[in-house]
């Protein structure tokens, strides 16, 4: 009986480690080390860094998702914006070599032509860059780049459609 106890203990420890590994999949937070997309809560392991990243940010700064795979992917970003892989063109169908922005997918500080381009719902009125809805009211003259006058639609949506700012010309 004494000889089987060490083997049983070893087996129990190995089983416990396996259980912890399985339960830990998909729970790594952004900037945590990962070996595949499945490790990350965001579903994106940065292709160049091997760190969990936001799906949209990884496309711009980390060569995409899919660390450990042969090629980068944008699966998590496509799932986020719901464009089913952008029909195989990886979102690069814009004129002059520029990437075309999928409506509602541009990240904060990215170029935009209207509020509809931004994931935050706010294209800074003075800069033409996606901005946080509240911050844009204080630093960018509001949202609504490309419109005749600024708006606070995204800020209202965050506050439950209660207006706090009055715009004057």
**99 has pLDDT over 60:** no
**Cα(69)–Cα(164) distance, rounded to whole angstroms?**
48
Torsion angle of the four alpha carbons 108, 114, 119, 121, in this order, in degrees rounded to the nearest 10:
100
pTM: 0.40
Residue pLDDT, tens place only, 107-158: 888 889 999 988 888 999 999 999 888 888 888 899 999 888 999 988 888 7
Q: Centre a 10 Å sphere on the Cβ of residue 156 and count the other Cβ atoms it contains.
A: 15
Comparison of pLDDT for 86 and 154, the residue scoring more = 154
Looking at residue 140, the DSSP 8-state letter turns out to be S
* β-bridge partners, 124: 143
Q: Centre a 10 Å sphere on the Cβ of residue 166 and count the other Cβ atoms it contains.
A: 6
Residue pLDDT, tens place only, 33-68: 999 988 888 888 999 999 988 878 888 888 889 998
What is the DSSP annotation of 56-125?
HHHHHHSS-B-TTSSS-B-HHHHHHHT-GGGGGTTT---GGGPPPPPTT-BPTTSB-SSGGGBTTS-BBT
Looking at residue 145, the DSSP 8-state letter turns out to be T
**164 has pLDDT over 60:** no
Instruction: Give me the pLDDT at residue 94, please.
Output: 40
Give yes or no for a contact between 42 and 76, defined as CB atoms under 8 angstroms apart. yes
């Amino acid at each position: 009986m004494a000889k089987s106890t060490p083997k049983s203990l070893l087996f129990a420890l190995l089983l416990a480690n396996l259980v912890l590994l399985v339960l830990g999949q998909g729970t790594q937070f952004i900037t945590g080390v990962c070996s595949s997309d499945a490790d990350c809560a965001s579903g994106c392991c940065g292709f160049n860094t091997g760190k969990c990243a936001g799906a949209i940010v990884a496309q711009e700064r980390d060569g995409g998702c899919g660390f450990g795979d042969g090629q980068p992917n944008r699966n998590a970003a496509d799932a986020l914006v719901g464009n089913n892989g952008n029909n195989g063109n990886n979102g690069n169908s814009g004129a002059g070599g520029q990437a075309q922005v999928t409506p509602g997918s541009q990240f904060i500080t990215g170029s935009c032509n209207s509020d509809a381009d931004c994931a935050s719902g706010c294209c800074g009125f003075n800069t033409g860059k996606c901005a946080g809805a509240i911050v844009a009211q204080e630093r960018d003259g509001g949202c609504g780049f490309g419109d005749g006058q600024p708006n606070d639609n995204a800020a209202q949506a965050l506050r439950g459609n209660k207006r706090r700012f009055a715009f004057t010309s």
